[in-house]
Chain A
Amino acid sequence: MPKATITNSIRRLRFDHDEMTQQELADRVGCTRQTIIVLEKERYVPSLSLAFQVARVFNQTIEDVFAWAEDE
């Protein structure tokens, strides 16, 4: 079975939203700043609940923020 990773565009979306800080995003979705950092580094796959909350902060759908990338 090919390995898959979940990519995201959180960093770009933060900058598009008045350069929102990681701490600000963390406070709005109810997680720690470290979790936002590892999310942006794509070293952490969030729960569905957190993914929805992040998407909602940016007024996007979950597919606009997160993508399923299957490795070759």
Chain B
Amino acid sequence: MSTVWITLGVAGGIIVVVVFGRFVWSLRPQPEMSGLPTTPLEKLGWVGVAVTAVVGVALAILVVVAGVTGFHEEATARGIFWLLMMGGIGVWSVAWYVIKKRTGGTVVDERDRAILARSLSVESVVVLLSLVAWTVTLTEVFWDEGAIPLGYLQLLFWSTFIGGAFGRSLGIILGYRREITVDA
């Protein structure tokens, strides 16, 4: 490998670390924003983190036990997978319904909407990192074969989907710990 490529690689790596570091730093909680009552959307954020974490870990265990091919092809593993996904979405939906029902007044206001919009940046970064990790790993593992088993594509999509939902929920929780301004 030539010196030029190594230099470019190192420079690119430094830029990525700096940009990512700045992004993570921008999410740090502000002490003066702590101790506030929890809003309905914030509660939903906690539910989202819990549900996606449980579903994500369960999916990882299922893939380890059944294997990537088995996860994609075996009827039992597929059934468990869909049960997990539907269960996760079901729990999240019921939780949101209960939270809304228990909230007497406004459920989501302009500040909540601004925080929800800003949480997209966390989701985008998680999705991007997931895609980079999958692309690099799959390329390295299946370089010689020149083809990737279909089960991996399913896994790629669902893990990114769950990761994105986790990132969005985390972004909501972090959003309430930072000041935000609405320009409207």
Contacts and interface: CB of A to CB of B under 8 A. Distances in A.
A36 B176 CA distance: 14
B39 A47 contact: no
What does DSSP make chain A's interface, helix, strand, loop or mixed?
helix
A35 B182 CA distance: 12
A37 interface: yes
A45 B182 CA distance: 7
Interface in A24-72: 26-27, 30-35, 37-38, 41, 43-50
A26 B106 contact: yes
B145 interface: no
A7 interface: no
B29 interface: no
A37 B33 CA distance: 10
Contacts of A46: 110-111, 182
A44 B111 contact: yes
A41 to B, nearest CB: 7
Interface of A: 23, 26-27, 30-35, 37-38, 41, 43-50
